[in-house]
Amino acid sequence: MIIEIVQACAYFVKVQKQINAILTAQTNMISLASHFFQLGWLSVLALSLLLQACGSPRTLVAKSEVSSGATPIAGSKIATLMPPGKSTEFFIPKDFFKSNNKTTKNTGPPVTLNTPIVGTGNTPTVKSMIWLYASPTAKAHAESAGIDFKVQVRIWETFLRKYHIPYKTITSVDALESSAPGVIVLPSLVALTEREKLAVAKFRAQGGGVLATWLTGVRDGNGAWQGFSFMENVLDARVVGDTANEEDANFLMTYGDGPITFNLPAGQRIWFERVKDIYPLRMTGQQSAANILDWSRNSVLDQAINTIVIGEKPQTNGVMSRSVVLGYPERLWMSTSPAEMEAIAHNALLWLLRQPSVHLGAWPYPFTNAVSVAIDAPEVVDEVDIKFSKRIELLGARATYYLVTENLLKSAESLKKLQTQGHELAFMADHFEGFKGQPEDKQRKRLLDMQQQMKASGLQTGSDHGFAAPMDAADKTTVAVLNQLGMGHYLALNDATDARIPVTQPRPSSAITDEPSMVMLPRTLSSPEALMNEGDPEDGLRQFLGELEISLAMGGLSLIRTPNQSLLSEEEWQPIFDRLKGNSKNGWFALTSQVAQWWRERSRVSVSMDITSGTPRLTVNLTGTKPLSRSASAMVNLPAAHSSLRLFADGHPHKLTTITAIDPWRVAVSLENLPPGTYRWLMQFDPLIATAVK
């Protein structure tokens, strides 16, 4: 075993030197991992560390600097799946999801194990083998309609070979029944016999993990419709609809810092081509990892939006088994971003293999999302605004007021009261007129006049000077001038980036500031006032609350922007404040300047995991000249649900003892009180419930 450890460590160090050479533009991909599968548990963990290179968060840039990842690959459109003249009911019966999903009952027989499976206890073991099941039943069903079944199998084989992940393709139910527990991949196996379904259930009862895609086992060996009982009862995914009747719901949106999506930022848009008959599914499950939405991320009232669900449940014999269901078929991979599709698949396998992983959390410890209130103040600020601010304060939050500076003298007394209570001031414009389309010299003069008017009023903006253009009327010229003038952050529209987190933008050499970057804060939520005023107020409120719920769950920045002198009544605002109050445990209520400052500080931190002397080890590197003003989080995926993590300092006196459970599979480690430098801690996982340790 010692020889194996030395081999693993030496090989890992060698491979680490090659990581930077094989980064992609969107996601870091590592393809030198197969050696580890030959070396036992420790080496399987070492493999996971290499696979995690795919999980390094991509560096986001503003849309003005890079094209959207949603652009399809040239020549890869698949247009349609069914041959001409074939029935469109080949996969799902017509109108199956109508009447508010009331027809989504399970029509097939339940899958039950007649003979109890004797497990090895409910403590899961590390898995190392991946079985790719090319079902002969699903193959025959597909080929009966002229569909090339080999496509979905070949996509997985290509992916697994690309990253040197050991696997075996099995093509018979006999092989399926004799497969040792590990992870089994079910690639859009629409039709399965009862024997095949029972074999999958038995596989899970032995502790194996399952990754299934799209429609799985919804038809029997003769192609007869069976409903979704197998997916619900064996795969733990309840299908409640698809996007057949929603032409714009073509974007997968990931949850940030999630167990299988941690390498992609919160709310990342991933475009899917719309192909007749193979529409993404809407599902519910133990936990969501991604939603299917339209480009604007508008919520669908009274309808599930999850299209990736994960879970871990005890089987009938008490053995724990994990499952991942991707609600889209492999054929949609062919026309979208391959890096992002492969990253999700890779991390799903990593999680199913029960490999621990480490990444840097998006927000300060222990928060999993951030909320900022931005108030546009083109009008005079008076006692009405003071009263509204008190409601914000009751949440433990404060707001940022973006001001038209020609009104400052009229609003000075009220603004000073707001500042006394902890709210902050920021810039909107010298007068209420957009900047978009104006010549650079005119924009520069207006922005300088704006700053001068603020100075002359005796008022001060926050330490990180913020800007939000009137009516969002800004352009690339506005952003460039703001950056050169040393503005700390600015608010941008939904199209400025594909994700729901801030974006740092480097300063030009001529910038009038020592700060290394300006921060763009994307406004990805609709205005509650706009939604409630453009139609039925109740529907508008429900729409906003739906959007807010999605944003909070995704772990992004929920930037609530509303005008001063709000036209909404206290009763209309109350449900919004109630929902925000419910987010106080996990959410960080922050001024926009605090979010921008945090995002700069966060860029100074990196975390990783390696193996030393047979033990996984956490490494934290902090650059700069001073400690962070807020503690960062090292997010750790656990090998077993509700495990506890202990950290032992390796060669330094700094202890990390504050560890909080985020969900059954993740804990957040507070990186508190660390001066700049590189630090390491040995990691020990225990099968105990993870709780905060003070």
Domain C-terminal end among 354, 386, 419: 354
Give the distance between the most distant pair of CA atoms in the chain: 83
Contact 399, 566 (CB under 8 A): no
Query: pLDDT at position 41, please?
Result: 37
Domain C-terminal end among 327, 354, 381: 354
Residue 598 within any structural domain of the chain: no
Query: pLDDT at position 35, please?
Result: 31
Query: pLDDT at position 117, please?
Result: 39
Residue 361 within any structural domain of the chain: no
Residues 228, 166 share a domain? yes
The Cα 167–Cα 291 span in angstroms is 29
Residue 362 within any structural domain of the chain: no
Q: State the Cα torsion 326-331-337-339 to the nearest 10°.
A: 70
Residues 473, 617 share a domain? no
SS3 668: strand
The Cα 659–Cα 462 span in angstroms is 32
Cross-strand bridge partners of residue 588: 370
CA nearest neighbour of 323 among 687, 665, 666, 91? 665
Give 390-399 pLDDT, tens digit per residue. 999 999 999 9
Give 355-372 pLDDT, tens digit per residue. 999 999 999 999 999 999
Q: What is the mean pLDDT of residues 115-122?
A: 40
Query: pLDDT at position 534, please?
Result: 83
pLDDT at 694 over 60: no
Query: pLDDT at position 463, please?
Result: 76
Residues 194, 102 share a domain? yes
Residues in Cβ contact with 577 at an 8 Å cutoff, skipping those fewer than 6 apart: 391, 394, 395
Give 467-498 pLDDT, tens digit per residue. 999 999 999 999 999 999 999 999 999 899 99
Residue 249 within any structural domain of the chain: yes
Residue 243 within any structural domain of the chain: yes
Q: What is the mean pLDDT of residues 271-276?
A: 92
Whichever domain contains 285, its CATH number is: 3.40.50.880
pLDDT at 682 over 90: yes
Residues 283, 329 share a domain? yes
Give 216-242 pLDDT, tens digit per residue. 999 999 999 999 999 999 999 999 999
Q: Sheet holding 677-686: strands in order across?
A: 605-612, 615-622, 677-686, 644-649
If 0-12 CB within 10 Å is exposed, 13-18 middle and 19+ buried, where does residue 682 land? middle
7 against 639, higher pLDDT: 639
Query: pLDDT at position 691, please?
Result: 42
The Cα 196–Cα 192 span in angstroms is 6
Give 369-390 pLDDT, tens digit per residue. 999 999 999 999 999 999 999 9
For the entire predicted model, the pTM comes to 0.85
If 0-12 CB within 10 Å is exposed, 13-18 middle and 19+ buried, where does residue 635 land? buried
Query: pLDDT at position 93, please?
Result: 72
Give 554-598 pLDDT, tens digit per residue. 999 999 999 999 889 999 999 999 999 999 889 999 999 999 999
Residues 523, 622 share a domain? no
Candidate from 58-62, 109-113, 472-476 with smallest mean pLDDT: 58-62
Query: pLDDT at position 109, please?
Result: 53
CA nearest neighbour of 511 among 465, 458, 460, 553? 465
Residues 230, 97 share a domain? yes
CA nearest neighbour of 331 among 576, 523, 550, 151? 151
531 against 9, higher pLDDT: 531
Residue 364 within any structural domain of the chain: no
pLDDT at 123 over 90: no
Query: pLDDT at position 315, please?
Result: 84
Residue 108: pLDDT band with limits 50, 70, 90: low
Give 281-338 pLDDT, tens digit per residue. 999 999 999 999 999 988 777 778 999 999 999 988 888 999 999 999 999 988 888 8
pLDDT at 5 over 70: no
pLDDT at 340 over 90: yes
Query: pLDDT at position 16, please?
Result: 33
The Cα 672–Cα 658 span in angstroms is 9
Residue 268: pLDDT band with limits 50, 70, 90: very high
Query: pLDDT at position 45, please?
Result: 45
Ranges of H-type helices in 87-236 = 136-143, 150-162, 173-177, 194-205, 229-233
Query: pLDDT at position 127, please?
Result: 52
How many other β-carbons are positioned within 10 Å of the β-carbon of residue 361? 26
pLDDT at 116 over 80: no
Residues in Cβ contact with 483 at an 8 Å cutoff, skipping those fewer than 6 apart: 505, 507, 508, 511, 518
Residue 464: pLDDT band with limits 50, 70, 90: confident
If you search the block for the tokens 């974007």, which residue do you land on? 251
Residues 146, 233 share a domain? yes
Query: pLDDT at position 97, please?
Result: 60
456 against 10, higher pLDDT: 456
4 against 137, higher pLDDT: 137
Q: How many domains does the chain have?
A: 3
Q: How far is CA 414 from CA 197, 375, 384, 429, 586, in A?
A: 68, 14, 10, 19, 32
Residues 391, 429 share a domain? yes
If you search the block for the tokens 């269901």, which residue do you land on? 325
Q: How far is CA 527 from the centre of its chain?
A: 23
pLDDT at 114 over 50: no
Residue 74: pLDDT band with limits 50, 70, 90: very low
Residues 243, 149 share a domain? yes
Query: pLDDT at position 377, please?
Result: 95
Residue 164: pLDDT band with limits 50, 70, 90: confident
Residues 280, 378 share a domain? no
Whichever domain contains 480, its CATH number is: 3.20.20.370
Give the number of C-alpha atoms closer than 13 A to the C-alpha of residue 391, restricted to the C-beta side. Answer: 17
Rg (CA), the chain: 27
Q: What is the mean pLDDT of residues 258-282?
A: 93
Residue 8: pLDDT band with limits 50, 70, 90: very low
Cross-strand bridge partners of residue 367: none
The Cα 592–Cα 557 span in angstroms is 10
Residues 678, 576 share a domain? no
Of 7-11, 65-69, 101-105, 326-330, highest mean pLDDT: 326-330
The token pair that represents 198 in the structure block: 């029972």
What element of type H or E holds 639? Answer: none
pLDDT cut 90: percent of the chain above it: 69
How many other β-carbons are positioned within 10 Å of the β-carbon of residue 648? 13
Q: What is the mean pLDDT of residues 496-513?
A: 94
Give the number of C-alpha atoms closer than 13 A to the C-alpha of residue 642, restricted to the C-beta side. Answer: 7
Contact 209, 184 (CB under 8 A): yes
Average pLDDT value over all residues in the chain: 84
Domain C-terminal end among 329, 354, 379: 354
Contact 355, 638 (CB under 8 A): no
Residues 552, 464 share a domain? yes
The token pair that represents 289 in the structure block: 């990892």
Domain span including residue 315? 1-354
pLDDT at 96 over 90: no
